[in-house]
Structure 1
């Protein structure tokens, strides 16, 4: 470690974090593709609000066709964030010894991937899933803790990624 400068370690840690988020996405995409029914059923319960006991049932979506479309939209967004993070990690790794400006510019895909992931896990699941579909009222079909744990990692990781402290 004596030959490794702090700036080099910071750059490597940014590459590692981006690849970790990309791998998270890859596992999620793989799970959705190989076990479509489990996650589809989960989303169907959230959208139909059938286990919330909510008095806001007029907000529910009970169309199976819409459940599939929304699920495919989420899976598409997860594939986009995964691809962007893996490409972003590659771009960062490729530019690990480049100038400060080149390394910073190489963050574009990673930043895009993080933003799409935040859209899915914060906006779609927490804001819409909880704020509109009362997901937090369901004991069995509640993804709040899972989505929150992802957001709790992504947001500080995004801030760390975009900071220019890697020179």
Structure 2
């Protein structure tokens, strides 16, 4: 029996290595189908692909410089960031827009550009990241894209003098692609 095990272990190891060698690499996000306005400049690589699943809060407020008019105003997002396998790797919240990795690193950013998404979905977005705080995965992130958006737009319910101050929460999902210089 020992002789069988001694011959089987190297065979299993060789087969395992051969299987790994033929496994295709994990897909990497492509910007090809994105509008130019939200594409990350050349000289950057994808550092992390996340899926934000959460909610956006809106508040019914008087429109600035439009007496007697009201609108749903963006208050802020709150979402869990998951990797492509569905494991939680961080959070997204604001304002200011903040991506915080579970490893303690954190980055804020400012919007550079937006592009329309399909009806009922938040626009696509390109953000220029500020230098990260903490040590971890977000150190060195230069740009963040919001793509593949689902939901998140302002409520369709009435917003007028009678509802001023009321808050509503809207569910959303978006991919946040984080980029570092090459």
Scaled by the length of structure 1, what TM-score is found? 0.23
Q: Which has the larger radius of gyration?
A: 2
- Whose relative contact order is higher, 1 or 2, with alpha carbons under 8 Å and at least 6 apart? 1
Question: Higher strand fraction: Structure 1 or Structure 2?
Answer: 2
